[in-house]
């Protein structure tokens, strides 16, 4: 659900410049829409440039976005390519008055193999290159501009996979590394006025789960809140961490997981006499 701005108030991200990776669909697209609906100028980047363009167009056509004065542009960007990352940051800096927020959302997640020893170097390296080194590249390129804005924030999209075993070895290792990078970068960037935080989502209903309604239903039963997450749940959390409402929060991991990692609800249900 897109928030509506109370009459006569200034949108929360009025005039902000926001760069989001992997924003052509899913969490990234919902986050781009959320920022634009609160007045931000958003650069929607995605490995698939056509997909990014469609998302940006849909955002521009949104009535809440038009009412808030938000904008959206699109650019193809592979975060595994340093030149592409630098081009995306340069585009945002040229297009917007300031670059204030970087959302590192792009990821790669290889399919699990039956045995750990069967995993290939190629799939392992791809997961790390996109999901961990990609955010490193983006943060490195964007940081001087985030410092210059005076209100800079980086929000990394991690995963509960970085905290517990849910499979996908390379992806999980990358997300655990991203949580560590978040903490160390927060310590480095904090004195320069830039906050760095991470969101660890649980199961989110996105295109990655298309055609898997039965699996999602089984997963929902394991969540204390009784449902899987929606992309908008994560977008809301990203907007909070990027806003001045979170001005004294940095270096933290915010779990947005329906309570999955707070208790072993599935085990409790399995052994309960009720």
Query: Residue 255 CA to chain centroid, in angstroms?
Result: 13
Rounded Cα gap, residues 128 and 200, in angstroms: 17
To the nearest 10 degrees (0 to 180), the angle between helices 121-128 and 169-189 is 30
CA distances from 26 to 139, 143, 231 (A): 22, 25, 6
Structure tokens at 162: 């970085």
Rounded Cα gap, residues 274 and 52, in angstroms: 49
3-state secondary structure of 9: coil
DSSP state of 259: T
Query: Residue 113 CA to chain centroid, in angstroms?
Result: 26
Pairing of strands 41-46, 71-76: parallel
Structure tokens at 247: 């001005």
State the number of CA atoms in the 13 A half-sphere of 214 facing the CB.
0
Question: Which of the residues 136, 171, 223, 265 is marked catalytic?
Answer: 171
Rounded Cα gap, residues 178 and 132, in angstroms: 6
16 is catalytic: no
Just list the catalytic residues.
171
């Amino acid at each position: 659900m897109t928030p509506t701005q109370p009459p006569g108030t200034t949108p929360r991200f009025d005039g902000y410049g926001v760069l989001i990776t992997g924003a052509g669909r899913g969490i990234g697209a919902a986050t781009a829409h959320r920022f634009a609906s609160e007045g931000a100028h958003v650069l929607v980047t995605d490995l698939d440039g056509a997909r990014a363009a469609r998302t940006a167009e849909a955002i521009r056509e949104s009535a809440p976005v038009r009412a808030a004065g938000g904008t959206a542009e699109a650019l193809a960007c592979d975060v595994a390519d340093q030149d592409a990352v630098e081009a995306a940051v340069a585009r945002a800096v040229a297009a917007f008055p300031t670059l204030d927020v970087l959302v590192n959302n792009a990821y790669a997640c290889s399919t699990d193999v039956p045995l750990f020893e069967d995993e290939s170097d190629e799939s392992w390296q791809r997961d790390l290159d996109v999901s961990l080194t990609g955010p490193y590249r983006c943060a490195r390129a964007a940081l001087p501009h985030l410092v210059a804005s005076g209100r800079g924030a980086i929000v990394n999209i991690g995963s509960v996979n970085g905290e517990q075993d849910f499979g996908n070895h390379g992806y999980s290792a990358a997300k655990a590394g991203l949580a560590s990078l978040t903490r160390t970068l927060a310590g480095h960037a904090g004195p320069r006025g830039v906050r760095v935080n991470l969101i660890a989502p649980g199961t989110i209903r996105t295109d990655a789960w298309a055609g898997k309604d039965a699996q999602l239903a089984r997963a929902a039963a394991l969540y204390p809140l009784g449902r899987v997450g929606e992309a908008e749940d994560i977008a809301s959390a990203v907007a909070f961490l990027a806003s001045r409402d979170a001005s004294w929060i940095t270096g933290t991991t915010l779990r947005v997981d329906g309570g999955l990692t707070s208790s072993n609800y599935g085990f409790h249900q399995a052994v309960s006499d009720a």
